[in-house]
């Protein structure tokens, strides 16, 4: 038998380290040698720590939310006794959990399955066979054509045809060329690239090496944010192992093709997700975008022809070259081929990572795979594309998840973040949150981005503070157009999207904040009023005792009253009241 433990960032954060220690202790105590595999995130983050028991017939039993106590029980009953603990099992290889059964896993095919720190595990899953096929049997132009047939578009946000960028770099003249991976995942709520790096780093390395062969580059650079220490550690191990087996480095597999790899730790600036800003940071300069053309394919890293793709894009490449471009293009829609990885976050039951064919409806992703809204509340909207994206409302839940359909809603596909919001979300406050993020992350180069986003944020802050004025909505729309038109890079050009989409679909909430001085979602504190219901109040005095500013008065067993002039709207009274006597308006 084998034991496999989810040991990505989510698994470790949920207590996976203690589970592993307990399993190791049990093996030592019983003198039982069981292969213990530490793997990455399989996507079911809400179930971590996850422990798989793999029997001698390769049947997998998946245990969820495992504690050290459960781990001891699993070891003694299942490993030693041979009896699965049905009460803890959430899926088996015969009956997979629904979040996995509706997926098509290509970029994530090895995540949560193999040991990312063991090259032999990757090789056993046909690892580096695509690279061998490419450098031994194909021309660079043939590789690019296969990528073209696949219809793969950049998964970093813009959705630009991958083959076109590769072809442009291939055609550019120069003895020195570079392949750069953008692993600077900066969207709040996004963790797609991190999971690939932690769970299957060799897929990225192989994809980059194939790109290097296709464009004529001998060197690759991975720009990864320093906040991903586990991802960086596993990348370093993977690069070292690949070099030892002559899968990277000089004269790979004796073919004459050489390709070396380097890692650059980024400081976590959101603007460095833009390719020219990334290149500047990679060169040791401040991460600021520059005018294009020239494009990186002509003059990129150190002014040499450079191809830049993100982690997910490169992770798809080995599968495409091994199985053929037509096999990949069989998934998805006419203009959006293949699969897409999404990070489900926010008010959703099954938060985690999913990979689905392009064209699947939002409703299926959120309800069939994501399990629906947490606490069975009503769905309100989903933010797609991160701070640069937009909010898609309930009435558009049947929108297909593809580039063109998502763009029509006013949002963007982005790198794949899906932040789900329920009925208790204030859409004005949500727009304020995202604009605050992009305002702070602006590099400051463009006046419209630097100052325009600041003016928009000030208006939103006024509105959520109960100081909104007639004409504020129109001012926001006017500023949004100016910021979009006057900004150099994608950060400024898309920063107004959350504001524009919330005004488009939730204008009534803006109007309620401005005209009625009310927050329909009861989130914006300055617009709330706490009152005590005379029929429900029992005079228990608990609310008065918990009020830090003594705004509540009343005698025991008599009606209590809140002095609105003193009330700080902290909400403690509503939290502690056992009779639901405190109302919020």
| 276 shares its domain with 136 | yes
- Three-class secondary structure of residue 509 per DSSP: helix
At 32 the pLDDT is: 86
| pLDDT for residue 266 | 93
Q: What token pair was written down for 342?
A: 């999404």
Strand order across the 219-225 sheet: 260-266, 219-225, 178-183, 306-310
Instruction: Kindly state whether residues 350 and 364 are assigned to the same domain.
Output: yes
CA distances from 475 to 92, 395, 433, 450 (A): 56, 27, 18, 17
User: Is residue 465 packed enough to be buried (19+ CB in 10 Å), middle (13-18) or exposed (0-12)?
Assistant: middle
Concatenated DSSP letters of 290-336: --SSSPTTTS-GGGS-EEEEEHHHHHHHHHHHHH-HHHHHTSB-SSS
123 and 262 share one domain: yes
Residues 158/161/165/168 CA torsion (nearest 10 deg): -130
Question: So what's the pLDDT on residue 187?
Answer: 84
User: Do the domain assignments include residue 105?
Assistant: no
Residue 416's pLDDT is 87
Please tell me the distance from the alpha carbon of residue 534 to that of residue 485, in angstroms, as a whole number.
55
Total domains in the chain come to: 5
Assigned domain for 109 exists? no
At 388 the pLDDT is: 85
CB contact at 8 A, 253 and 370: no
Same domain membership, residue 279 and residue 132: yes
Domain C-terminal end among 422, 449, 467:
422
pLDDT at 378: 97
The model's pTM is: 0.94
Residue 101 lies in a domain: no
Place of tokens 């090789």: 123
CA distance 317 to 259: 16
Yes or no: say if 504 and 480 are a contact pair by the CB < 8 Å rule. Answer: no
First vs last Cα of the chain: how many Å apart? 59
Of the residues 373, 388, 422, which one is the last residue of a structural domain? 422
Is residue 108 included in any domain, yes or no?
no
Those residues with Cβ within 8 angstroms of residue 396's Cβ, 6 or more apart along the chain or in another chain: 362, 409
Cα separation, 154 vs 308, in Å, equals 9
- Range(s) of the domain holding residue 539: 529-584
Domain match, 136 and 92 both: no
DSSP state of 256: S
CB within 8 Å of 293: residues ≥ 6 apart: none
Q: Is residue 505 within 8 Å of residue 557, measured between CB atoms?
A: no
Q: 436 and 418 in one domain?
A: no
Residue listed under structure tokens 């660079």: 140
CATH code, domain carrying 461: 1.20.1440.230
Q: Is residue 410 part of a domain?
A: yes
| Residue 348 and residue 380 in contact, taking contact as beta carbons nearer than 8 Å | no
The domain that contains 396 carries what CATH number? Answer: 3.10.20.600
Contact 513, 468 (CB under 8 A): yes
Residue with token string 């109007």:
511
What is 418-455 written as a DSSP string? EEEEETT--HHHHHHHHHHHHHHH--S-SHIIIIIHHH
Same domain? 210 vs 353: no
Sign of CA dihedral 434, 285, 198, 151: positive
Is residue 43 assigned to a domain?
A: yes
CATH number for the domain spanning 542: value is 3.30.70.20
pLDDT of residue 173: 95
Contact between 554 and 539 under an 8 Å Cβ cutoff? The reply is: yes
CA–chain centroid gap for 581, Å, is: 40
Q: Are 131 and 249 within one domain?
A: yes
Angle in degrees, CA 53, 106, 322, rounded to 5: 110
> Does residue 547 belong to any structural domain of this protein?
yes
Predicted confidence pLDDT, tens digits, the chain (585 residues)? 999 999 999 999 999 999 999 999 999 999 888 999 999 999 999 999 999 999 999 999 999 999 999 999 999 999 999 999 999 999 999 888 877 888 999 999 999 999 999 999 999 999 999 999 999 999 999 999 999 999 999 998 778 999 999 999 999 999 999 999 999 988 888 899 999 999 999 999 999 999 999 999 999 999 999 999 999 999 999 999 999 999 999 999 999 999 999 999 998 899 998 999 999 999 999 999 999 999 999 999 999 999 999 999 999 999 999 999 999 999 999 999 999 999 999 999 999 999 999 999 999 999 999 999 999 999 999 999 888 899 999 999 999 999 999 999 999 988 888 999 999 999 999 999 999 999 999 999 999 999 999 999 999 999 999 999 999 999 999 999 999 999 999 889 999 999 999 999 999 999 999 999 999 999 999 999 999 999 999 999 999 999 999 999 999 999 999 999 999 999 999 999 999 999 998
CB 560 within 8 A of CB 542: no
Residues 251, 321, single domain; the answer is: yes
Q: What is the spatial distance between Cα 124 and Cα 188, in angstroms, rounded to a whole number?
A: 35
Same domain, 304 and 206: yes
Residues 140 and 254 in one domain: yes
* 112 occurs within a structural domain: no
Look at residue 159 in the predicted model and tell me its pLDDT: 86
Contact present, 205 and 261 (Cβ < 8 Å):
yes
Alpha-carbon gap, residue 323 to 31, rounded angstroms: 44
Note the pLDDT of residue 582: 95
Contact 216, 171 (CB under 8 A): no
392, 490: one domain: no
């Amino acid at each position: 038998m084998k034991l496999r433990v989810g040991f990505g960032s989510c698994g470790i954060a949920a207590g996976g380290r203690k589970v592993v220690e307990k399993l190791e202790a049990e093996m030592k105590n019983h003198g039982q040698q069981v292969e213990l595999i530490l793997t990455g995130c399989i996507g079911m983050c809400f179930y971590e720590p996850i422990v798989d028991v793999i029997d001698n017939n390769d049947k997998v039993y998946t245990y969820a939310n495992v504690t050290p106590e459960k781990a001891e029980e699993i070891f003694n009953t299942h490993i030693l006794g041979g009896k699965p603990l049905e009460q803890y099992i959430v899926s088996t290889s015969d009956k997979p959990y629904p979040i996995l059964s509706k997926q098509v896993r290509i970029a994530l095919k090895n995540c949560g399955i193999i040991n990312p720190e063991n090259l032999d595990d990757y090789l056993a899953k046909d690892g580096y066979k695509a690279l061998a096929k490419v450098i031994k049997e194909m021309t660079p132009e043939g590789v690019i054509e296969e990528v073209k047939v696949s219809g793969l578009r950049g998964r970093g946000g813009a959705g630009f045809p991958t083959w076109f960028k590769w072809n442009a770099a291939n055609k550019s003249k120069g003895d020195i060329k570079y392949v750069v991976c953008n692993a600077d995942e900066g969207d709040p709520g996004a963790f797609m690239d991190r999971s690939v790096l932690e769970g299957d780093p060799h897929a990225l390395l192989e994809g980059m090496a194939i790109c290097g062969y296709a464009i004529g580059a001998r060197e690759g650079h991975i720009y990864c944010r320093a906040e991903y220490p586990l991802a960086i550690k596993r990348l370093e191990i993977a690069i070292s192992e690949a070099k030892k087996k002559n899968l990277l480095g000089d004269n790979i597999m004796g073919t004459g093709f050489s390709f070396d790899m380097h890692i650059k730790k980024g400081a976590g600036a959101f603007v460095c997700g833009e390719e020219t800003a990334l290149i500047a940071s990679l060169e040791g300069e401040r991460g600021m975008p520059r005018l294009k053309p020239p494009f990186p394919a002509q003059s990129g890293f150190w002014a040499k022809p450079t191809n830049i793709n993100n982690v997910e894009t490169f992770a798809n490449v080995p599968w495409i070259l091994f199985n053929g471009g037509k096999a990949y293009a069989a998934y998805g829609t006419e203009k959006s081929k293949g699969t897409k990885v999404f990070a489900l976050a926010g008010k959703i039951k099954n938060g985690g990572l999913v990979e689905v064919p392009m064209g699947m409806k939002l409703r299926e992703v959120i309800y069939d795979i994501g399990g629906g809204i947490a606490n069975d509340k009503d769905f309100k909207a989903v933010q797609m594309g991160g701070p640069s994206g937009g909010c898609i409302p309930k009435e558009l839940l049947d929108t297909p998840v593809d580039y063109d359909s998502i763009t029509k809603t006013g949002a963007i596909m982005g790198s794949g973040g899906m932040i789900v919001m329920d009925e208790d979300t204030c859409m004005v406050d949500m727009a304020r949150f995202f604009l605050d993020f992009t305002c702070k992350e602006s590099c400051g180069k463009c006046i419209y981005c630097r100052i325009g986003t600041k003016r928009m944020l000030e208006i939103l802050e006024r509105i959520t503070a109960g100081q909104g004025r007639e004409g504020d909505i129109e001012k926001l729309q006017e500023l949004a157009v100016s910021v979009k038109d006057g900004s150099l890079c994608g950060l400024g050009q898309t920063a107004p999207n959350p504001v524009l989409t919330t005004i488009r679909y939730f204008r009534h909430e803006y109007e309620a904040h401005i005209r009625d001085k009310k927050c329909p979602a009861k989130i914006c504190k300055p617009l709330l009023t706490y009152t005590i219901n005379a029929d429900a109040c029992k005079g228990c005095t608990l609310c008065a005792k918990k009020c830090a500013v003594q705004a509540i008065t009343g005698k025991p067993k008599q009606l209590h009253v809140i002095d609105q002039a003193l009330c700080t709207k902290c909400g403690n009274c509503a939290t502690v009241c056992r009779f639901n006597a405190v109302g919020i308006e």
